[in-house]
Structure 1
Amino acid sequence: MTTTPLLPNIVAGKAQMGQGPGTPLFDPVLGTELVRVSREGLDLASAFAFAREQGGAALRALSYRERAGLLGAIGQVLQAKRDDYYAIATANSGTVTRDSAVDIDGGIFTIGQYAKWGDKLGDARALLDGERIRLGKDPAFQSQHVLTPTRGLALFINAFNFPSWGLWEKAAPALLSGVPVVVKPGTPTAWLTQRMVQDVVEAGVLPAGALSVICGSSAGLLDALQPFDVLSFTGSAGTAAQIRGHAAIAERSVRCNIEADSLNSALLDPNAAAGDEAFNLFVNEVVREMTVKSGQKCTAIRRAFVPRALYDAAAQAIGAKLAKISVGNPRHEAVRMGALVSRAQFDGVQEGLAQLLAEATPLYDGRAQALVDADPAVAACAMPVLLGTSDPVKARVLHDVEVFGPVSTLMPYDSDAQAFELIRRGQGSLVASVYSADPAFVARAALELADSHGRVHAISPDVASLHTGHGNVMPHSLHGGPGRAGGGEELGGLRALGFYHRRSAVQASTAALDALAASATALTY
């Protein structure tokens, strides 16, 4: 008999229980069952229709400013229940407090930013995209591009690592655009997403059908999509390939945004010296990105490049800091790094690490260290491992396999050109970071790497106390990347609204365009 509660799905503006025993969610440290989720028996077609016809219509009836007010109200609901969310994150994601903050407070912060940006769009219900264009000698007949909210829904199929931020960084621009949201969270950590949506819906701050959550299997979700819906997926490249071939995308032209695998890099200036400011910033950031959320970040540093002369010094400095990281039960005050989200993820990290070890050797291996207040036979706690290779040019697996955990590989380079080429062998990444006190080198590196990265994060001594971090995704900047990273784009301020709008050219008289402009506002970034 099932003793743990079955979480309700929230669709058509109300809680609806799935059928059957459901899928259990566990505490990744203690191994205890927490709750169960199921979407069996849900009528997806009706749920999606309600979101489009009820939630979408109600949202589109509002101005951007009014919808921004809804985002502000969501933020207040979530802020009032932060303690509950932290408790769920500790239990279901196995994260220490600082890592839970990245997810929970990061999501609330993003909602607040879009509330502020949306308020500045005023009482408009459409966006003007660019200036008017004369279509002939007589200026009386012109073309004006406009952006109007799509009359579909936004389906988010999200990953397990950010159950809060992963929802709200997508939902904020979608709701501001006037598009209803249906989220299918990653099952292992679905509890936090489900609870947040339930709290917001029960608070009554959104129109019925504007926000829904479906927990459990994703089977059939894409079948229910219609041409004016949009889909955003975060997860593996393998699943992304299946999505791209689905009839919803291939035949019905559902707009699709994908964030997939990413072998992100960090690059130290060739003129740096051991112990100087750029060197120390590089070392600190590599350690932070290996250990925050136990390395379970799409933006984490997977490959770290240093001038060959600094290879040994960098290995020693990074290893010394990793040795101070205590790993185990996040409830213990001495613990600085918690667990992976499940034993399945733990096994996946070990398998991936074995692949990397075919081309690299451990420079720091924390696997011999004891866990704090956790049973290694039960807890999904992975120790940090820094790998290294003296010949990254000959490596293949190191530039191809992403281990989604506290693992990074240090690699030496012999010239700027070689470093840039090695970084580009990641085949497209979300972010690369550059560490240098030389503005000219930063500029050169940024231009060399921009075409293969969604973001280039340059850290110099003058911004040491100001920069937001290699792996922190700020709503102001673009999040996404080309190639193997998925080819998608999210955030970037108001640029994010473009995904949820349809661009159309209105060719009309100047008088008609003047009338149109009265209910629209210019989209400025």
Structure 2
Amino acid sequence: MQQARHFIDGQWCDDGRWADSLDPANGELIGRFADGDEGTARAAVAAAVSAFAKPQWSQNPRLRQQVLLEWAAALQRRQDELATLLTRENGKALAQSRGEIAGAISEILYYAGLARHNPGHVLEVAPGEFSTMLREPAGVAALIIPWNAPAVLLVRALAPALAAGCTCVVKPAPQTTLFNAALLAPLLELPSLAPGVVNLFAECGHAGAAYLVATPLVDVLSFTGSTATGTRIMQDAAPTMKKLSLELGGKSCCLVLDDVDIASVALKIAAAATIISGQQCTAARRVLVHASRAAEMKQALTAALAEIRVGHGLDAATQMGPLIDRSARDGVEQRIALALDSCDEVLLAGGRPAGLDSGAFLTPTLITHHDSAAFFCQEEIFGPLLVLETFDSESEAVQRANHSEFGLSASVWTADGARAMRLARALRNGTVWINDHNKLFAEAETGGYRKSGLGRLHGYDALLDFTELKHVYQNVGSL
């Protein structure tokens, strides 16, 4: 049985309230975690405020680098046990969990390097007059972490925040609190990490998170989740004018041109649509295929999705595990049922697979539709639903793909490099992949246009979300 407590001001603690964590594949009890509230959040923020006031952390980039390196080294020794726990608590296939842990470690190492490279610049604006521009840590950063990729999505916020010199409060999703506590434990227990620099609390409700959003003691808030929740965060955080880093919804389009190998592309798109059981913001949601290849794509994509092996994530044969819990499964199932009733054609009707009744499973669904204004072409349905549409020209493909309130990611599939770049530039998305999908890594910034969010995570620009730019002017005179 796993157990996770809060970690505040250098100490593991709890409030005497506990909640259960269940395996979404079979409903079995994995362990328990401490269930906090607004009081827990207040204590965590107070500890972070106190730690930030001491320059030993915020002004010591060499220490920050060493802490990150030691954390990465400790995680490398625990990769297998962490991947197993991630699969048990989240449900994803074990191969995906192993890949995610490796990606998280890579990201920590990347920001360990940047911890000692956050330069400003100096200008001599007139004889003897100097303007010095400094990148300083913004202060206390609150990080609200989702359940779908809790290793990478924690690290891509926490690592740049620590590299920049912020102190942090981490609030994981209740569905994956055990895993996030296990991932953080090697960091939190480092002797070189001063009390209050990193604090962790969990909750089943929303009072603690609401406090993080509303309090002026938090200088930066990083959130990954739905656009509806992100909008509410912007509203509630407005009076404090805190910096916001928001990665929100997506409805990724795959533009498939007429010069590709349809059979090969269909297999890759099927994998992109079912990653984390379709519960990834960049997952393939819409496939726009040239009309001349539509019949081939229908057949190939239907076959590829039908062959996806669904089961418990610890089974080596599994390619797609359950959704995060039964409540999420039920909600996605209801939206898919409405889509099946109103679409032009049903190519593959997914559902609850036989023999897996105790888990939150759904098999993939594939439909076709012409009207891109349909709710299932516009709404982010967080599960294994894929919509196939057709186009006759490049301009129509771009018009259809950009017909969305989101702008997180898209992909272009073609053998013609010039066409690929032309379409990529025309798409209103923060990331466009060419002949691939869901390629995310530490060095390349991720974020969206429009209602897909604010700011960028991964890459050097992630530091900007956790820093402030200070101008220091000095007139030293001249000889």
TM-score normalised by the chain length of structure 1 = 0.84
Give the residue type in structure 2 aligned to 1:486.
Answer: G
Q: How does 1:429-440 map to 2 (within 5 A)?
A: 429-440=407-418
Tell me the SS of whatever aligns to 1:312: helix
The residue aligned with 1:85 is 82
Q: Deviations over 1:446-480 (max 9, x none)?
A: 2101xx21111112xxxxxxxxx521321211211
Does the C-alpha gap of structure 1 residues 315 and 14 become closer, same or farther in structure 2, counting only changes over 3 Å?
A: same
Give the residue type in structure 2 aligned to 1:348.
Answer: G
Residue 454, structure 1, aligned to residue 430, structure 2: yes
Residue 41 of structure 1, CA deviation: 7.7
**Distance of 2:106 and 2:11 partners within structure 1:** 26
Does the C-alpha gap of structure 1 residues 290 and 510 become closer, same or farther in structure 2, counting only changes over 3 Å?
A: farther
Give the residue type in structure 2 aligned to 1:365.
Answer: A
Residue 62 of structure 1, CA deviation: 0.9
Percent identity among equivalent residues? 26
Moved more, 305-314 or 333-342: 333-342
Residue 476, structure 1, aligned to residue 443, structure 2: yes
**Distance of 2:408 and 2:13 partners within structure 1:** 37
The residue aligned with 2:226 is 236
Residue 149, structure 1, aligned to residue 137, structure 2: yes
**Distance of 1:41 and 1:498 partners within structure 2:** 29
**Distance of 2:199 and 2:450 partners within structure 1:** 31
CA RMSD after TM alignment: 2.2
TM-score normalised by the chain length of structure 2 = 0.92
Tell me the SS of whatever aligns to 2:115: helix
**Distance of 2:405 and 2:429 partners within structure 1:** 9
**Distance of 1:315 and 1:511 partners within structure 2:** 74
Match of 2:145 among 158, 161, 164: 158
Match of 2:247 among 256, 259, 263: 259
Alignment gaps of 5+ in structure 1? 460-468, 513-525
Does the C-alpha gap of structure 1 residues 369 and 15 become closer, same or farther in structure 2, counting only changes over 3 Å?
A: closer
Q: Deviations over 1:410-446 (max 9, x none)?
A: 1101211111111111223211111111121112112
Tell me the SS of whatever aligns to 1:345: helix
Residue 347 of structure 1, CA deviation: 0.8
Tell me the SS of whatever aligns to 1:411: strand
**Distance of 2:12 and 2:31 partners within structure 1:** 16
Residue 6 of structure 1, CA deviation: 5.2
The residue aligned with 1:392 is 371
**Distance of 2:114 and 2:283 partners within structure 1:** 28
Q: How does 1:28-47 map to 2 (within 5 A)?
A: 28-37=24-33, 38-40=35-37, 42-47=39-44
The residue aligned with 2:111 is 114
Residue 419, structure 1, aligned to residue 419, structure 2: no
The residue aligned with 1:381 is 361
Match of 1:200 among 158, 162, 187: 187
**Distance of 1:146 and 1:506 partners within structure 2:** 8
Residue 174, structure 1, aligned to residue 161, structure 2: yes
Does the C-alpha gap of structure 1 residues 149 and 510 become closer, same or farther in structure 2, counting only changes over 3 Å?
A: farther
Q: Check the 8 A contact 2:45/2:218 in 1, yes or no.
A: no
**Distance of 1:213 and 1:476 partners within structure 2:** 26
Match of 1:365 among 349, 370, 377: 349
Residue 501, structure 1, aligned to residue 434, structure 2: no
Tell me the SS of whatever aligns to 2:271: helix
Q: Check the 8 A contact 2:80/2:98 in 1, yes or no.
A: no
Q: Check the 8 A contact 1:261/1:485 in 2, yes or no.
A: yes
The residue aligned with 1:490 is 457
Q: Deviations over 1:101-160 (max 9, x none)?
A: 2322221111112223435x2xxxx6315x6262xxx4322434321112x211111211
Does the C-alpha gap of structure 1 residues 31 and 228 become closer, same or farther in structure 2, counting only changes over 3 Å?
A: closer
Alignment gaps of 5+ in structure 2? none
Residue 219 of structure 1, CA deviation: 0.9
Tell me the SS of whatever aligns to 2:371: coil
Residue 34 of structure 1, CA deviation: 2.0
**Distance of 2:317 and 2:201 partners within structure 1:** 37
Residue 5 of structure 1, CA deviation: 6.4
Does the C-alpha gap of structure 1 residues 25 and 66 become closer, same or farther in structure 2, counting only changes over 3 Å?
A: same
Does the C-alpha gap of structure 1 residues 220 and 367 become closer, same or farther in structure 2, counting only changes over 3 Å?
A: closer
Q: Aligned residues, how many?
A: 472
Tell me the SS of whatever aligns to 1:417: helix
Does the C-alpha gap of structure 1 residues 228 and 158 become closer, same or farther in structure 2, counting only changes over 3 Å?
A: closer
Residue 289 of structure 1, CA deviation: 1.0
Q: Check the 8 A contact 1:56/1:180 in 2, yes or no.
A: no
**Distance of 1:232 and 1:403 partners within structure 2:** 23
